[in-house]
Amino acid sequence: MEQANPHAMRDQRKLLILRAPNWPQQRKPQGKPATRECVFCARRDEPLAELPASRLLTPKYPGVPSHVLIVPNRHIYSIAESSVPEIGEFLETFNRLLSIDGSLVAIGNYKKAAGQNVPHAHHHIYSSALQSLLTCLISHKNVPANPFAQEMLELSGLGASADFPKRAILPLPSNEREALDLIKYAFEMLEGAFAFLQPKIGNPDFPNPTEAARMRMFDRIIGFGLNWCIRKGNEGNLNFEALPRVAFEGVPQATINFFLGMVLMRKGLLCEEEREWGRLAGDFHGKIRHEFKN
């Protein structure tokens, strides 16, 4: 049997390492009650930019130096709950950020199954290079990150692209009302498809035996979620991408094992790396302040 080349494996692992500042300690002081106040409603630090319906904030846990949050002022749970003026301001803001760095993408999580930990909508804006790395890592570990996604897309009628068979890619209309209607439609159709699919999982007549077999890895299906992304298309338009998610009992530990098993690590930075990170982040934040100063 041919033996694996340890040097090649080591080189492959190097390509998958995300260098970023250390995570802060997450332990809460003993005896101190957990706060129920929304972290974004309570946040008082100076934003990079303040707009009529939203703020541009620096993330506490940046993945890359060019990482910023667009946070609606109104306490809403998801982008689909936006008003027409709010979605118009968001899309205008994102386009202005694209004028600073054309590689930026907007990403959001809906519900815990898709990784939403704060019940206040917030939209991550960062370089598409980070998303490419995350996609590479998921493919590298061959993790079933989107169980039943294909079935939900087919049931919803949203379809999927050949390049991303578990992701619906929809051209986003330039008209803000039509754009919001499309986003709401995608949310409603995928959540409806999940509701239709859920009682059928585990049934021997389930249409996709491969996905049914995957389900046996977990105990029981418990929830729906949606990751979405807005990025510039090949023709300069914006595309809305919907990635349906399903969570199971037992997934929290599986998720922990997944992240421990791959080499996406916040290991901290060397001194020279920290200086370079600070320089790049400062330059990016400065451009944002300049763009939105008027």
Q: DSSP readout, 88-114?
A: HHHHHHHHHHHHH-TTEEEEEEESGGG
Return the pLDDT at 262: 43
Nearest-angstrom CA–CA distance, 122 and 196: 29
Residue 174, pLDDT > 70, answer: yes
Phi and psi at 112, nearest 5°, equal -65, -30
E-state strands within the chain: 49-50, 54-57, 67-72, 104-110, 123-127, 168-171, 221-232, 238-248
Q: How big is the CA angle at 188 (ends 185 and 190), to the nearest 5 degrees? A: 105
Label the pairing between strands 54-57 and 49-50.
antiparallel
Kindly report, residue by residue over 262-284, the tens digit of the pLDDT.
434 455 677 887 888 889 899 99
Kindly report, residue by residue over 127-136, the tens digit of the pLDDT.
876 655 555 4
Return the pLDDT at 215: 52
- Cβ atoms of 148 and 122 within 8 Å: the answer is no
pLDDT category at 256 given cuts 50, 70, 90 is very low
Closest CA to 201 of 166, 163, 249, 169: 249
Instruction: Determine the length of the chain.
Output: 294
Return the pLDDT at 257: 47
- Cβ atoms of 177 and 84 within 8 Å: the answer is yes
- Cβ atoms of 84 and 176 within 8 Å: the answer is yes
Mean of the pLDDT values across residues 101-124?
Answer: 90
Domain boundaries, the chain: 46-272
Return the pLDDT at 136: 46
Mean of the pLDDT values across residues 243-266?
Answer: 56
* CATH class, range 46-272: alpha beta
Give the residue with greater pLDDT, 2 vs 209: 209
Return the pLDDT at 283: 95
- Cβ atoms of 258 and 145 within 8 Å: the answer is no
Nearest-angstrom CA–CA distance, 120 and 125: 16
Tokens of 44: 């008082």
Where b means 16+ CB within 10 Å and e means fewer, 152-173 reads: bbebbebebeeeeebbbbeebe
Range in 36-45, 75-84, 264-273 the model is least confident about: 264-273
- Give the CA count within 13 Å in the CB-facing half-sphere of 190: 31
Range in 64-68, 170-174, 222-226 the model is least confident about: 222-226
Give the residue with greater pLDDT, 7 vs 18: 18
Kindly report, residue by residue over 139-159, the tens digit of the pLDDT.
444 444 566 788 889 889 998
pLDDT category at 228 given cuts 50, 70, 90 is very high
Give the residue carrying structure tokens 């977990």: 218
